[in-house]
Structure 1
């Protein structure tokens, strides 16, 4: 473990430097809208409080980091990074069936409650989601780095916007590239951010399209791109005749709660859980990057910091474009 922590400490400053340089040359809409010291005066303890909340929750439930990362993706890809996924109510993003399995809401709510005590009406729920996901990666063993803050919370949350804006596990490479490009993310970002599957859990229903189910509920592998032994393990964990929506398996069968580069090694071994994972290693446009990340965790971590920054600045709302919610679940 000592060598691992030594690596993190050596790369921490490098990651921060790279992100600062990237931000300096970012497209003009970002400049002047978000900043790395946004809460320096108004709430200097903001990031520490979010980090402590995430660390405490993760100590009680090692699945929390994966939940927080998935929550961030589902927020930023729909209406931008504006915490619209947190709003409760009929017809909201949160009510859509694609989001009913999301978790991590209680962690965001806990951080918000503490911040409202020390810095009332100051820190947005959108910033809390972004910071919590950033901290989740570091707590799970990944790189630690700075991200800018200053996001405002959106007032619009519509379930109809969910399905057209999130990746389905059955997507082809072309479908994923098209969606990522629409968010200002490149093919390199697609491969890098797919590394989120190095942690987290998935319901059996999320990869059921890779199997055929007979009248008695027994599964048979039909996707030849999946390793047969790994497929047999999945079949054992998803019982015949059982509810595939109630059983979960680890996204990464090797190091399920550690943020590392094992996901990419798994892809090369044909152990990507989702069809959308497998196509990344099979496509000539992306295989080289998969191989690079599988061989170098340092390269993956460097790219993760850069792509994560781009993810957390998708269509952000600032100033009077949004609000600072008193409760993350309801608009003011």
Structure 2
């Protein structure tokens, strides 16, 4: 594989970053020979700019779309690889599964695809657009600039029954999460680092409100002792004050929800992880030590995020003659 890079960083900083991730690049190069950091350099040189511009434009009217785009890549890559299958509409598809009912950002992917089909018809895959859009969402909120290898092709199969066995539920133990990540070729460090995605985005009350309750006398009762009492009370107040708690959303990060930073890990140390799966990372020696490192060093978090994000973005990719290049991201050709 031939790698090519472009960056606005100072040359010395860029070279340092390249040396840091060289082992990862060699791994990708040996396993995914049809992926390249400049795959569309000749066939559609403006592809990444078009995706980035579409993401930025969408976020000016709805900032929450950035968190939705980042979540979307997890639900795509973890189910049957990064093949854009979560984007396909229809009965019985991944997108129709109740586990994916709260996903969003589809319109941004489709908007980028529509422009690309005018400029470079039949060239850029929806799978690549999805990965690039997630990358750009992180960058738009102050996160690291990540060079992404492209050349993925779109899958043609999307089955709802594949969703539940492959995605992380909010009540999973650390062991269950490690098992899921391991099945995708991802490590314990990748689990903790990629959980840092919860530094942005929001969640519906029904995904975490089992951690506290109101007893028959109307008193607040903390069910999950790993959750800070005052934080739990704040969450309860917000969720119970809504006419429809299932429609109410709460920021994943109560401190800096509009910035991609390492605040998430400091929240975990303060017992303010929104989900049970967040709090669980502080209760296991294998994950707590990594949380502590990332909470104290944002640069380390950004470096490790870059590595883990790239690893996730190449899970089960279709390349070469596999799959297709969809004309619409919502339907197979």
Q: CA deviation at 1:262?
A: 0.1
Answer yes or no: is 1:109 the counterpart of 2:117. Answer: no
Instruction: Report matched runs for 1:298-309 at 5 Å.
Output: 298-309=299-310
The residue number in structure 2 matching 1:130 is 131
Q: CA deviation at 1:66?
A: 0.5
Q: CA deviation at 1:217?
A: 9.0
Instruction: Report matched runs for 1:72-83 at 5 Å.
Output: 72-83=73-84
Q: CA deviation at 1:209?
A: 2.1
The residue number in structure 2 matching 1:206 is 207
Structure 1 gaps of 5+ residues are 1-7
Q: CA deviation at 1:37?
A: 1.1
The residue number in structure 1 matching 2:24 is 22
The alignment's TM-score, normalised by the length of structure 2, stands at 0.93
Conserved 8 A contact 1:218-1:240: no
Structure 2 gaps of 5+ residues are 1-7
The residue number in structure 1 matching 2:178 is 177
The residue number in structure 2 matching 1:269 is 270
Instruction: Give RMSD over aligned pairs.
Output: 1.8
Answer yes or no: is 1:154 the counterpart of 2:155. Answer: yes
Partner Cα separation in structure 2 for residue 188 and residue 121 of structure 1: 37
Conserved 8 A contact 2:222-2:232: yes
The residue number in structure 2 matching 1:3 is none
Conserved 8 A contact 2:242-2:248: no
The alignment's TM-score, normalised by the length of structure 1, stands at 0.93
1:134-153 alpha-carbon deviations (Å, 9 max, x no partner): 11111010000201000000
The residue number in structure 2 matching 1:246 is 247
Answer yes or no: is 1:310 the counterpart of 2:307. Answer: no
Secondary structure, aligned partner of 1:324 = coil
1:181-237 alpha-carbon deviations (Å, 9 max, x no partner): 000000000000000000000000010221235579986321110001101110111
The residue number in structure 1 matching 2:4 is none
Partner Cα separation in structure 1 for residue 320 and residue 48 of structure 2: 20
The residue number in structure 1 matching 2:238 is 237
Q: CA deviation at 1:51?
A: 0.5
Conserved 8 A contact 1:191-1:286: yes
Conserved 8 A contact 2:128-2:152: yes
Partner Cα separation in structure 2 for residue 150 and residue 230 of structure 1: 44
Conserved 8 A contact 1:218-1:241: no
* Matched residues, number: 324
Conserved 8 A contact 1:12-1:144: no
The residue number in structure 1 matching 2:99 is 98
Mean alpha-carbon deviation: is it higher for 218-227 or for 313-322? 218-227
1:25-69 alpha-carbon deviations (Å, 9 max, x no partner): 337322x12111110100000000000111111121111111000
Partner Cα separation in structure 2 for residue 319 and residue 92 of structure 1: 24
Q: CA deviation at 1:127?
A: 0.0
Q: CA deviation at 1:255?
A: 0.4
Secondary structure, aligned partner of 1:320 = coil
Secondary structure, aligned partner of 1:212 = strand
Conserved 8 A contact 2:68-2:201: yes
Partner Cα separation in structure 2 for residue 41 and residue 269 of structure 1: 50
Conserved 8 A contact 2:209-2:236: no
The residue number in structure 2 matching 1:193 is 194
Q: CA deviation at 1:243?
A: 2.8
The residue number in structure 2 matching 1:63 is 64
